[in-house]
Structure 1
Amino acid sequence: MDLLALADFNLVARHGGFGRAARAAERPKATLSRRVADLEASLGVRLFERGSHTLKLTQEGRALFERTETLLAEIGEAATAVASGGETPRGRLRISAPLLFSQMALGKLAARFALRYPEVRLEITTEDRAVDMVEEGYDLVIRVNPDPDERLIGRVLLRDRLVAVAVPDLGRPESGVAARAVVRASSNQSAWDLATQGGDVRVSIEPVLRLASLIMIRDAVRTGIGAAVLPLSLVAGDLHSGALVQWGDVKGRPIEIWALYPSRRLLSARVSAFLEFLKEAFPQGQPEELTAYLTGEDVTTQTVKTGLP
Structure 2
Amino acid sequence: MDLLALADFNLVARHGGFGKAARATGRPKATLSRRVGELESSLGLRLFERGVRDLKLTQEGRALFERTARLLSELDETASAIASGGQTPKGKLRISAPALFSQSAMGRIAAGFALKYPEVRLEVTTEDRPVDMIEEGYDLVIRVNPDPDENLVGRAFLRDRLVVVASPDLLRPAADSPAPGVIRGAGDRQTWNVATSKGSAKITIEPVLSLSSLIMVRDAVRAGVGAARLPISLVSHDLANGTLLHWGNIEGSEIALWALYPSRRLLSARVSAFLEFLKQAFPNETPDELAAYIGRS
Range into which the TM-score falls when normalised by the shorter chain: over 0.9
Task: Provide the residue aligned with 1:164 in structure 2.
Answer: 164
Determine helix, strand or coil for the equivalent of 2:6.
helix
Alpha-carbon shift at residue 135 of structure 1 (Å): 3.6
Residue-by-residue CA offset, 1:260-287 (whole Å, 9 max, x unaligned): 1223333221111111100111111111
Alpha-carbon shift at residue 296 of structure 1 (Å): 5.3
Label 1:271 to 1:189 Cα distance change in 2 as closer, same or farther (>3 A): farther
Provide TM-score, normalisation by structure 1.
Answer: 0.89
**1:210 correspondence with 2:220:** no
Label 1:116 to 1:253 Cα distance change in 2 as closer, same or farther (>3 A): same
Label 1:154 to 1:294 Cα distance change in 2 as closer, same or farther (>3 A): same
Alpha-carbon shift at residue 123 of structure 1 (Å): 2.1
8 Å CA contact 1:281–1:293 kept in 2: the answer is no
8 Å CA contact 1:96–1:142 kept in 2: the answer is yes
Counterparts of residues 16-95 of structure 1 (less than 5 Å): 16-95=16-95
Determine helix, strand or coil for the equivalent of 1:149.
coil
8 Å CA contact 2:75–2:266 kept in 1: the answer is no
Determine helix, strand or coil for the equivalent of 1:161.
strand
Task: Provide the residue aligned with 2:105 in structure 1.
Answer: 105
Task: Provide the residue aligned with 2:2 in structure 1.
Answer: 2
8 Å CA contact 1:97–1:128 kept in 2: the answer is yes
State the distance in 2 between where 1:25 and 1:295 align. Answer: 53
> For structure 2, which runs of at least 5 residues remain unmatched after alignment?
none
Over the residues paired in the alignment, what is the CA RMSD in angstroms?
2.0
State the distance in 2 between where 1:203 and 1:7 align. Answer: 60
122-131 or 239-248, larger mean C-alpha shift: 122-131
> For structure 1, which runs of at least 5 residues remain unmatched after alignment?
298-309
Task: Provide the residue aligned with 2:229 in structure 1.
Answer: 229
86-95 or 69-78, larger mean C-alpha shift: 86-95
Task: Provide the residue aligned with 1:303 in structure 2.
Answer: none
State the distance in 2 between where 1:169 and 1:22 align. Answer: 74
Determine helix, strand or coil for the equivalent of 2:200.
strand
User: Which stretches of structure 1, 4 residues or more, deviate above 4 A after TM superposition?
Assistant: none
State the distance in 1 between where 2:61 and 2:46 align. Answer: 7
Q: Which amino acid aligns with 1:184?
A: R
State the distance in 2 between where 1:118 and 1:104 align. Answer: 23
State the distance in 2 between where 1:24 and 1:223 align. Answer: 62
State the distance in 2 between where 1:175 and 1:41 align. Answer: 72
Alpha-carbon shift at residue 128 of structure 1 (Å): 2.2
Task: Provide the residue aligned with 2:184 in structure 1.
Answer: 184
Alpha-carbon shift at residue 255 of structure 1 (Å): 1.1
Q: Which amino acid aligns with 1:292?
A: A
Determine helix, strand or coil for the equivalent of 1:254.
strand
Alpha-carbon shift at residue 226 of structure 1 (Å): 1.3
8 Å CA contact 1:5–1:38 kept in 2: the answer is yes
8 Å CA contact 1:155–1:260 kept in 2: the answer is yes
8 Å CA contact 1:179–1:205 kept in 2: the answer is yes
8 Å CA contact 2:188–2:206 kept in 1: the answer is no
State the distance in 1 between where 2:19 and 2:103 align. Answer: 43
Residue-by-residue CA offset, 1:228-264 (whole Å, 9 max, x unaligned): 1111111122222221121111112311111112233
8 Å CA contact 2:166–2:247 kept in 1: the answer is yes
Task: Provide the residue aligned with 1:140 in structure 2.
Answer: 140
State the distance in 2 between where 1:111 and 1:103 align. Answer: 13
Label 1:15 to 1:294 Cα distance change in 2 as closer, same or farther (>3 A): farther
